[in-house]
Amino acid sequence: MIEFLQIFVDRLPQWWPEMQTAAGRTLLLTVYAFMLAIAFGLALALAKLSRSTLLRRIASIYIEMMRGIPTLVVLFIIYFGIVPLGITLNAMTAGSIGLGIHAAAYVAEIFRSGIEAIHRGQREAALSVGMTPRQTLRHIVLPQATAIMLPPLMNMLVIVLKDTSICSLISAPEIMLRAKDLASTYFRPMHLYVLAGAMYFAMAWPLSLVARLWGKQLGRGRRPI
CB 210 within 8 A of CB 154: yes
Scanning 11-19, 71-79, 120-128, 141-149 for contacts with another protein by CB under 8 A, the matching segment is 71-79
> Could you tell me the smallest distance in angstroms from the CB atom of residue 62 to another protein?
12
Q: Confirm or reject binding of residue 214 to another protein (CB under 8 A).
A: no
How many C-beta neighbours within 10 Å does residue 56 have?
Answer: 14
> Contact between 82 and another protein (CB under 8 A)?
yes
Task: Pick out residues in 146-165 that bind another protein (CB under 8 A).
Answer: 158, 162-165
In 3D space, the residue among 51, 49, 31 whose CA is nearest the CA of residue 39 turns out to be: 31
Each residue 39-68 as x (binds another protein by CB under 8 A) or -, in order, gives -------------------------xx-xx
State the Cα–Cα distance between residues 175 and 196, nearest whole angstrom. 6
> Out of 35, 61, 83, 125, which residue is the one contacting another protein (CB under 8 A)?
83
Burial class for 1, CB neighbours closer than 10 Å (0-12, 13-18, 19+): exposed
186 counts as binding another protein under rule CB under 8 A: no
DSSP state of 50: S
Quick one: 144 or 164, whose CB is closer to another protein?
164
CB of 156 to another protein, least distance (A): 13
193 binds another protein, rule: CB under 8 A: yes
- Give the separation between CA 176 and CA 53, rounded to whole angstroms: 43
- Least distance in angstroms from the C-beta of 137 to another protein: 30
Q: Report the residue number, 69 or 213, with the smaller CB distance to another protein.
A: 69
> According to the binding rule CB under 8 A, does residue 176 interact with another protein?
yes
200 touching another protein, by CB under 8 A: yes
* Residue with Cβ nearer another protein (127 or 204): 204
Rounded to whole angstroms, the Cα distance separating 27 from 29 reads: 5
Picking from 88, 80, 102, 107, the residue whose alpha carbon sits closest to that of residue 169 is 80
d(CA 138, CA 140): 6
